[in-house]
Structure 1
Amino acid sequence: MILSAGYVVLYVVRLLSRSRRRKMYLQTIRQVVQKHSIFIKKSVSEKWSAAASTLIQCPLVKGSQRFTHKPLLEDDHIAMMSVEPKQVVNLTDGWTEYYRPQGEYREDSTHEDVVLLLEARRPTNVDTFLEHELQVSPAEKVHILAHGAAVAWKSGSSFGIILHCTLDEFVTLSMAFCEDRLTMDEDLEVHSIMSVKIEGKSSSLVLNQEIDTDTAKKSALKPKRNSADTDTNDSNAGDGNDIAKQLAHLLAPPQSEQDQLTDLWSNESLASNSSIGRTSELLDMIDAESQDAETVDRSMMESGAGEELSDFELAGSSSSTSGSLSQSWKFVRQASVAKPPNVLVYAGKIDSVRKFNKVKKIMQQCLDSESYVIYHLKHEELETTPWIENTVLLVLASKKKYTDANETFMKYFRAGGKILGLGSGFDQELVEQTLIRKENWIVNLKYKTWSDVSLISGMYSYDISKTIAEDSHVTKLASDTNGNVLIVRVNQETKGSAGSAILSQVLFDKDAGDMGVTPEMFNALKKSNSARFEILGQLLTTLGLECNTASPPVLTPAVLVAREEISKQSFLKSIEKRLLSGVLKFGKQTLHFTADDSVPAEENLLPVLTEESEPFLKNFNKGKYCENLKSRILGNTVMYVDVIPTTMTLLDGLMFSVPETTGLIAIARQQTQGVGRGGNNWLSPIGCAMFSLHVKLPADSNLGKAVSYLQHITSLAVVYSVCKQEGYQDIDLRLKWPNDIYYGREMKLGGVIVKSTFMDGMVHATIGCGFNVDNSNPTICINDLIQLHNRQDGTSLTSCSTEQLIGRCVTYIENLIDQFQAEGAESFKQMYYEKWLHSNNTVTLQSEGNKEVKIVGLDEYGYLLVETPSGEKISVQPDGNSFDMMKNLISMKIR
C-alpha cells in the first residue's frame, strides 16, 4: 500500500515538474522567437561565456557567423540561447524537398509561424544509443513528424531537417529533446534545434505535375498507407516510417547530386506496386489451338506474390484462350478490363478517417482477404492521384454532395467502374430520390430470401421510374415493408463500357451502436447482424467481387531453426545481454525467446521457440530447405513462423547484434499484413515463398556503393532458383525493372522490397521477397507454369516446394553478391539483361514533355538508363504515384 502511494506521489511530482518546465519554456520562447533565432542544445558543464560560440556553430546554416547571443535559460537538461540576427537557411544550398504523403501532419495556416532546423548525427556509441532507445517506452517517445510538417532535408556529416510547426509544438519538441524522448526512428539522434528563416527553393526528387483526367486514365494509383494507421498510434509516438525511409537511411555525405539521389533510392528499393500489360500475346501463347474457350481466369490477372496488381486489358472477342491450364483456373471473359484487387472507400471531407474505418471493417469481413486490399480515397486525392484505372470497386460512404467529387465519380462510372453507394450524395447523379424522413431510421428490409431484417437506413427512397444518368437502366433490388425502394442497381448501357452501381439507402456500415435506440430496437438490430453481412456479401457478389467470411488465420509462434546447431547457439549468445527474462523489445515489436511452446503469439508479441517444436514446424520441411541451401553464410539461421503479420520488421532489432556468420532469415508460411512498396499491403496467401533476409555489406565495397542493385540481384536469384535446375531452363520467367518477377511479359509472379541502413561503416540491408510457388489463386504460380510446360513439351518435371526454392534463391543471392563485389556491376548486368523484359523497348518520359526514349540498360547505380533520339542519355527512376513503372518515369540526371 505504501509502495503504491509512493508511486502515485512520484508520478504527480513528475507531472508537476513537466508542467512547470513547459510553462517556463513557452514563456521564454514566446518572448523572442519572432525576432531572433532560438538555439537549443543539450546542457554542458562549461559556462555560457566560455562555450557559447562552440554551442551555436551549426554547419547547416550558411553565411555569416557574426552574431550576438544571449542566454535565455539553462536548467539541468538543456541550454537555450537567443541568437541575433535571425539565422537564415538557404534551401537552394543542397537541400532536398521532403515528400510528405497525404495523411501525415496537417498544416494550420493560422498558426504556422515557426520554422525549425533540427540537426541530427549518427550516434557515437551505438550500443548506448540502442540501449537508450529500447528503454524509452513508445508511449513516452515524441516523433518529430507528429509535431511538425517536414519541409526539406539535407545529408552530410550533420543531417538536417527543416520543420514547420506551431509555437506550442516547438515547446513539445524542446521538452522531449531535453528529456531524451525525441526520436527520428532508426539510428539518428537529434543534437540541436534552432528556429530559423528559410529562403530559396529546395530541389525535388519527384516532379510535381498536374494530373488531369486523361493522365489519370493512363496512370495508376499508388495506394498510400491508410491515415487511420497513423491516427491510431499514440500522439506522442507518431508513425515516423516515412521519414525513416526518406531520411534516416541516407548513409554518408554524397559527393554529387547523383550520389545523393542514389542514396535515397538505395535506402529503400522496393517492389513495384503493380504492373500493367496486355494479355493478348499470353492468351495466344497458352494454347493457340483452342478458339472456343468461353472463360478466362480472372485470378490470373490479379496480384502475385504481393502488393497490388495491374490492369490487364483483355483481348477482344476473337482472343483465344486455353483449356490446357489447370482446372482450378476458372476463367471469366470480360469485355473490357480485369481490375486489380483494390477497393477504394471515399468518406467525404469531414470525419473521414473514422467513417473510413467503419466501412473498412465491415468490408474486410465480407471480401476475400487474399484477393482485395482496401484503401482510403481522400477528397484531396480525387484529382491529384490517378486511381480511376486501377480500382475494382469504389465504395461511397459520404451522404454530403460534393460537386467536384461527383463529377469524378461519374467519369469512373462511365469508364466502366463499379460503385457501391451507402447513403451517398452521389446517388442523385444516377437516379431520382424521394425524401421520406429527416434522419436515419430503422427499417425492416425485404431482399431475396431475407424478410423483415432490421437495418439502419438513410432518409431517402429511390424512384426507379426516373433515371437521371444517360444510357443507363435502374433495377429495384430491395425495399422495406412499406414499399419504399431502398436498394437499386444502375447499369450503364453505353456500347464499350460496363459501368455498374449498387446504390443503397441501407447503411450496412452502421450497427446498433451508431443510433440512440430503445433496448427493443437494439436487440432487433443485433439479431439481424448476421443477415446484414450476408446481404452485403450478396450485393458485392452481384458486382462481381469474391466474398469470403472465413475468420483470419491465428498468429503462431516462431521457431528458431539452424542448418548447424553452432549457428543457433552463436545467435542466442549474441543477444543474451539484451534480453530481459527472455524478452527483447525494439520499435513496436517484442520477441520472447523461450522453450515454452504454450506462449500465445500476438500482433506485436512474437514468441520465438529456441527448441524445435514439431507442432509449429509441421508446415516447414527443414530437410528440403537445408538440402537446397548451398550458401556459406546467408540463410544459416532461420526464424520460421506459420502465420505472422509481416516478416519485414522481424529482423530490425537483431541485425546489429548478430555475428557475421549468423545468416539470419525469417520465413513465413502466411502473412496477414505483408508490406509492399511505400507501405502498401502485400497479399500473402499460402503457397507463396516469403522471406526476409539480413545482408551485411562494407559501405566502401562495390555493392555497398550501389545498394540499389540488391533488388536486381534478388529478383535474378528468384529466376535462377527455378531456371538453373536441370530441365527447367525453358520455364519463361522474366524480370521487370526494378524488382518484379514475371511470367513472360504479362503476369507478375513476385516482388522484392529492400530496406537498408548504415552503421559503423557497414550497410545493413533487409531483403523482403515473395514469389508464387504453389498458389494458383488469386493469380498464377511457378508450379502452374511447370505443369503447363509438361503438357506442352511432353516433359515430366516435378513441382517445386517453397522450402526448395527459398533455399536455392538464398544461395544464388549470396553467389551473385560475391560476384558483384569481386567484379563490379558490368558482369552482373549482362546476366540480368538475359532475363529482363526491356531491351530496346521504348517508353515515354512524361517529365520530359512526353518524349519517347529507348531503354539501353542500367546505369552504375541501378537506375534505368534511356537514350533520346538525339543520343542524349538519361537516368530515370519510377514515378512513385504510378502502378506501372514503365508508364510514368521521371528524369533524374542528364549525362
Structure 2
Amino acid sequence: MLLSVGYLMLYVARWWSHRARKNMYLQAVRQVVRGSSIFIRRSVSGKTYAAAGSLIQSSLVNGSPSFTPKPLVEDDHMEMLSIEPKQIVNLKDDWTAYYRPQGEYVEDETHEDIMLLLEARRPTNVDTFLKHELEVAPAEKVHILAHGAAVAWKSGTPFGIILHCTLDEFVTLAMAFCEDRLTMDEDLEVNSIMTVKVEGKSTSLVQNQEIDTDTVTESALKPNSIPAETDRNVNNAEDDNSIAKQLEHLLVPSSEQDQLTELWSNESLASNSSIGRTSELLDMIDSEARETETRAEESMMESGAGEGLSDFELAGSSSSTSGSLSQSWRFVRQTSLAKPPNVLVYAGKIDSVRKFNKVKKILEQCLDNESYVIYHLKHEEIETTPWIENTILLVIASKKRYADSNEAFLKYFKAGGKILGLGSGFDQELVGQTMIRKENWIVNLNYKSWSDVSLISGMYAYDTNTVVVDDSRVTKLATDKNENVLIVKVNQETKRSAGSAILSQVLFDKDAGDMGVTPEMFNALKKSNTARFEILGQLLTTLGLECSASSPPVLTPAVLVAKESNLKHNFLKSIENRLSSGVLKYGTQSLQFTTDDSSPAEENLLPVLTEESEPFMKNFNQGEYCGNLKSRILGNTVIYVDVIPTTMTLLDGLMFSVPETTGLIAIARQQTQGVGRGGNSWLSPIGCAMFSLHVKLPVDSNLGKAVSYLQHITSLAVVYSVCTLEGYQDIDLRLKWPNDIYYGREMKLGGVIVKSTFMDGMVHATIGCGFNVDNSNPTICINDLIQLHNRQEGTSLPACTSEQLIGRTVTCIENLIDEFQTEGAESFKQKYYEKWLHSNSKVNLQSEGNAEVQIIGLDEYGYLLVETADGVKISVQPDGNSFDMMKNLISMKTR
C-alpha cells in the first residue's frame, strides 16, 4: 500500500513539474511569437548532438539588414531563442505540398496558429539511433504529425517539413524534442525546430493541390473542429490522397559519395532568396557548436537466422487497410529501414550458374560475411519474385542485353536501388559507351591510390558526357594508362529517390585462369590479386556496404555429451557395428568417433570426441543447458561443435540406429553453410542459438498424420522458452507463418526448417532451428528486447544465454508434442493463434488472379487456410509458396 502511494505521489509530482514547465514555455512564447522566430535547441546540460547550434545553417535568416537572437527560456532541458525579424520560408523554392486527409482548413482568428520549420537528417550513427528508438517506450514518444498538420516538405540534406499547429502543440513538440522523445517513425532524426512565416506556393504532385500561401499565414489554418489528438487519422491507408502514399516517395536514400554530398550538403530548407547573413547569426547563437556532419549509411536489418529471397521477408505492414497516420509512417519506415541483407547476382541466361558461383566467390571475400547473404537472381525470376524491395545491392555480371531484364533493373535503379555492373550489357541504359577493343584484355588500372594494377577488362570505355537517364550524374572513377574511363559512378539526383550505380568494365570476377595469357601476363595478374580485392572492396564500400570481411572460421571437432552417462554408453553401443576403424560413413559425410582431440575437422569428415575436451567445450555451458532441459527424451544426448558447415545433415546417419530414448540433438556455436527453407542460406553468427533435433513419431499418431505442424510447434516453443520465464511474459515475440519468429511485426529473430523421413511405420524428423539470442548484429536479438524491456519497465531481468533457451525450447517442443498427440490439433492451434501475426488478415492470392482472401487459420495438416469472398476455403502449403507481408501477397510458386 505504501509503495503504491509512493508511486502515485511520484507520478503526480512529475506531472505537476511537467505542466508547470510547459506553462512557463507557453508564456514566454506568447510574448514574442507574432513578431519573432523562436528557435529551440537542447540545453548544454541536457543531451546534445554534435551539430547542435549549427543545424540552422543557411536555413534561418531572411534578407533583413539586422537580426538579433535573444534568450527567452533556458533550463536543464531546453533553450529558447527569439530571432528578429521573423524568418521567412518561400514555398515556391523546391517545396512540395502535402495532401490534406483532414479536409479543408478554414480561418479561425481566435486560435493561436503558427507555422513550424522542422529540419531532420539521417543519423550519423544509425546503430545508436535505432537503439535509442527502441529504448523509448511507445507511450512516451511524441509523433510530429500527432501535434500538427503537415503543409509542405522538402527533400535533401537537411530534410524539411513545414508544420501547422497551435502554440500549445508547438510547446509539446519542443519539449519532446529536447527530451529525445520526438519521432517521425522514420530513419530521420529531428535536429531543429523554429517558428517561421510562410510565403509562396509549394509544388503539387497532382493538379489542383497547390498550397496558396496567401491563405497559409500564421494567422490561421485550423482543421474543422477536430480534436488535436485525433484529427491526424487517415481513414483509408490505400487512398490515393493519403500521406502514406506520398511518404513512400519522400525518402532520399543516404549515400556517402562526394557527388551527392556536394549536391545536397548545403541545401537550405528556407528559400535562397530569404537567406541573409547566416554565419553572423550562427556566431551569435553558438560559435563552438559548428561541426561538420557526416552522412549516415543506410541501415540493413535482417535476422542472423533469417531466410532469404524466396521465403518470408521482413514484416512491414498491418493486414488491415485502415489505421492511423502514425501507422502509415511506420509502414514507410519499415520498408525503407528494414532492408534485408540480400545481395543479388544476375549472370544472364547462358551458363549462369557457373558465372554466379564465380561472382559469389569474390564477393564473399570482400563483404562482411556475417552481414549479407548472396543469392542468384535467375532470369526467369526477375518478373515473378518480389526482389526489388528486398535487395540491398544488385550485381549485374551479364555481358548480353535483354530487354525484359534491363527494364526491371532500370526500375530498381530509379526506385533508389544500388547496382554494381561488371562488364554488363545493362550499362548502356545509364551511360554512353565506346568500343576500344574486340575482346577482353589486360589493362593497367589507375584508381585512387592504386596505380598500374593489372586487371582483366572488357571491350568498352565509358563516355561520361553521355548521360542516358534524366536527373542523373556520371562521375569518372578509374582509367587505364591511355585515359580510357573504365569505372564510373552514376547517381540519380531527384527529390524522391537516389539510385546509385558503379559500372565497371574491369571484370573483378575474372582472374589469370580465365584467360589464355603468356606467363608474364599470368604473373602480372597474380601479383595484382590483392589489389583486385582491395579495389572491389573500396567500390562496394562506396555503395554503402560493409566490407570488413573476415576469413571463414576454422572447422572444429565435435564433442559427445549426455545428460546421463548411461545415455552416452547406450548411444555408442548402438552404432559400434556400423563403425569401420571408428568411422561412420553415410552419404558424402563421415563421423569419426575418437578420443584423440588432435584430429582435424574437415568439411566431409567430422571427428566426434567421445570424452569431454575442454578446448572444444569452452564455449558451451553444459550445466546451463542441462539445468534448463526438463524433457524426458528430447535433447538428452548432445553432439556439440563450435564451428560446422551445418547441423542439418549431422544426424542423418545416426537417427535410424540409436535407441528411442537417446534424444539426439546437434548444437553449434557457428555455422558456415547454414540452410534455410527452400535451400536458402541461413546467416548464423556467434550469439545465434542453433540446433538440429531428432524427433520420432508413429505414422498413425495425431502428429504423425500432420507432420507439417512440427515447424509450428518448434516456432511456438522458441517463443515460450522466453515468455514463460518469470517476468519475461511481455517480451513481444511473435510468429509468422509458416516458420518465422519475430519481434512484434518489425524484425525477424529466427526461423525453423523440418526434414522428415518415413521408415517402418515411424516418422523420423530433423528439426533445424536458429534464433538470435545475444547477437545484436546484423539486426536485433532477444537480449536487446530484454534490455529494452528493463529500461521501459524499470526492471532488471537478466540476459538469456543460448544454452538456457535451447534447453527450454527443447523442453517446450516435447511438451507441445505430447499435448498434440493426446488432444489433437485444436488445442495447439489456440495457443499458436495467440502468438501469430495473421489473425483475420486479408491478403491477395496470386494463383486466384490476385483475389483478396481472408486468413482463417491453420487446416488439419498445418497449412494456411484462407477463404475467398465467395466462401471457398483454400489450403496454402508452405513448401510451395512465399508470403510477402509487405505486399499482402501469397505467391504460388511453380515447381
TM-score, length of structure 1 as denominator length: 0.64
1:312 Cα deviation from its structure 2 partner: 6.7
The Cα shift of 1:796 comes to: 0.2
* Equivalent residue number for residue 590 of structure 1: 590
Amino acid aligned to 1:590: S
- Secondary structure at the aligned position of 1:301 is classed as coil
Q: Which residue of 2 aligns with 1:468?
A: 468
Greater mean deviation of Cα atoms: 705-714 or 377-386? 377-386
Shift of 1:882: 2.9
Residue 491 of structure 2 corresponds to: 491
Query: Is 282-291 or 399-408 further displaced after alignment?
Result: 282-291
AA in 1 matched with 2:466: K
Offset of 1:660 from its aligned partner? 0.9
**How far does the alpha carbon of each residue in 1:19-54 deviate from its partner, in whole angstroms, 9 at most, with x for none?**
xxxxxxxxxxxxxxxxxxxxxxxxxxxxxxxxxxxx
Partners of 1:314 and 1:871 in 2: CA distance: 25
- Specify whether residues 751 and 406 from structure 1 end up closer, same or farther in structure 2 by C-alpha distance, changes over 3 A only: same
Question: What one-letter code is carried by the residue in structure 1 that aligns with 2:477?
Answer: L
1:454 and 1:531 mapped to 2: Cα distance?
Answer: 9
1:807 CA drift (Å): 0.4
Q: Look up the match of 1:887.
A: 888
Match of 2:555 in 1: 555
Aligned to 1:290: 181
Task: Tell me by how many angstroms 1:509 deviates.
Answer: 1.1
Shift of 1:569: 0.6
SS at match of 2:877: strand
Mark the CA change 1:836 to 1:338 in structure 2 (over 3 Å): closer, same or farther: closer
Cα distance between partner residues in 2 of 1:473 and 1:630: 63
Q: Residues of 1 paired with 2:739 and 2:520: CA distance?
A: 57
Question: Which residue pairs with 2:429 in the alignment?
Answer: 429
- 2: CA distance, partners of 1:711 / 1:855: 19
- CA offsets per residue over residues 497-545 of structure 1, 9 Å max, x none? 2221100111111222223333333332222211111110111111111
Alignment match, 2:748 = 748
What is the alpha-carbon distance in structure 1 between the residues aligned to residue 613 and residue 850 of structure 2?
A: 58
Alignment of 1:616-695 (within 5 A): 616-695=616-695
1:691, 1:768 within 8 Å by CA — same for their partners in 2?
yes
* 1:202-601 equivalent positions in 2, closer than 5 A: 288=141, 290-291=181-182, 294=188, 301-308=301-308, 310=313, 336=336, 338-601=338-601
What is the CA distance between 1:427 and its match in structure 2? 1.0
Deviations 1:178-214 (A, max 9, x none): xxxxxxxxxxxxxxxxxxxxxxxxxxxxxxxxxxxxx
Matched position secondary structure for 1:681: coil
> For 1:389, what is the secondary structure of its paired residue?
helix
3-state DSSP of counterpart to 1:591 = strand
Partner-residue secondary structure (3-state), 1:766: strand
Question: 1:784 is matched with which residue?
Answer: 784
Is the CA contact (8 Å cut-off) linking 2:561 and 2:638 kept in structure 1? Answer: yes
Structure 1: distance between partners of 2:882 and 2:839: 21
CA contact (8 A) 1:291 1:320 kept: no
Change (3 A) 1:458 1:880: same
SS in 1 for 2:880: coil
Deviation readout 1:692-726 (Å, 9 max, x if unpaired): 00011111111111111111111111011101011
Q: Distance in 2 between matches of 1:461 and 1:736?
A: 49
Alignment length (residue pairs): 604
Deviation at 1:279, TM superposition (A): 14
Q: Residues 872, 381 of structure 1: CA spacing in aligned structure 2 closer, same or farther, 3 A cutoff?
A: closer
- Contact 2:575–2:658 (CA under 8 A) maintained in structure 1: yes
Deviates more, 1:610-619 or 1:453-462: 453-462
Q: Percent identity?
A: 81
Q: Distance in 2 between matches of 1:357 and 1:634?
A: 39
Cα displacement string for residues 427-460 of structure 1 (whole angstroms, at most 9, x for unaligned residues): 1111111122222222222212222222222222
How far 1:801 moved relative to its partner?
0.3
Q: Decide whether aligned partners of structure 1 residues 419 and 841 sit closer, same or farther in structure 2, where only a CA change above 3 A counts.
A: same
Native 8 Å contact 1:511 1:525 kept in 2 = yes
| Corresponding letter in the other structure for 1:747 | M
TM-superposed deviation, 1:619: 0.2
Displacement of 1:403 after TM fit? 2.9
**Distance across 1 between alignment mates of 2:503 and 2:807:** 51
Letter of the 1:811 partner, please give it. Answer: T
Shift in Å, 1:558: 0.7
Displacement, 1:298? 6.2
Q: What residue in structure 2 maps to residue 714 of structure 1?
A: 714
Larger Rg: 2
Q: Which residue identity lines up with residue 430 of structure 1 in the other structure?
A: L
Residues 659 and 725 (structure 1), Cα distance of their counterparts in 2 relative to 1, 3 Å cut: same
Distance in 2 between the 1:819 and 1:300 partners? 40
CA shift in 2, pair 1:384/1:827, >3 Å: closer
- Once the two structures are superposed, the pairs formed by residues 73-92 of structure 1 within 5 Å of their partners are none
AA aligned opposite 1:616: F
Note if contact 1:593-1:610 (Cα within 8 Å) is conserved in structure 2: yes
Distance 1:790 1:283, change over 3 A: closer
Assess if the C-alpha contact under 8 Å between 1:313 and 1:336 holds in 2: no
Moved more, 527-536 or 369-378: 369-378
8 A Cα contact 1:874 1:891, kept in partner: no
C-alpha separation in 2, matches of 1:421 and 1:708: 42
Give the superposition deviation at 1:846.
2.5
CA distance in 2, matches of 1:421, 1:363: 13
Q: Is the 8 A contact 2:430 2:468 kept in 1?
A: yes
For 1:728, what is the secondary structure of its paired residue?
coil
Structure 1 residues 571-602: Cα deviation after superposition (integer angstroms, max 9, x where no partner): 11111111111111111211111111111111
Structure 1 residue 878: deviation in Å?
4.3
Q: CA deviation at 1:319?
A: 7.9
Letter in 2 for 1:695: V
Please state if 1:739 is matched with 2:739. Answer: yes
Tell me, yes or no, if structure 1 residue 772 matches structure 2 residue 777.
Answer: no
Partner AA of 1:790 in structure 2 = N
- 1:348 positional shift: 2.2
Partner in structure 2 of residue 610 of structure 1: 610
Q: Label 1:859 to 1:403 Cα distance change in 2 as closer, same or farther (>3 A).
A: closer
Give unmatched runs, 5+ long, in structure 2: 1-129, 142-179, 190-295, 319-324
Report the alpha carbon displacement of residue 769 of structure 1 after superposing the two structures with TM. Answer: 0.6
Closer, same or farther: CA 355–593 of 1 in aligned 2, 3 Å = same
SS of equivalent to 1:426: helix
Instruction: Indicate if the aligned counterparts of 1:312 and 1:337 stay in contact, CA closer than 8 A.
Output: no
Give the letter for the 1:370 counterpart: E
- Matched with 1:203 is none
Secondary structure class of the residue paired with 1:813? helix
SS at match of 2:411: helix
CA distance in 2, matches of 1:338, 1:716: 24
Which letter maps to 1:515? M
8 Å Cα contact 1:648-1:768 kept in structure 2: yes
Once the two structures are TM-superposed, the CA of residue 336 in structure 1 deviates from its matched residue by 4.2
Instruction: Give the deviation of 1:352 after TM superposition.
Output: 2.5
**Within 2, Cα distance between the matches of 1:718 and 1:551?**
31
Paired residues of 2:301 and 2:337 also in contact (CA < 8 A): no
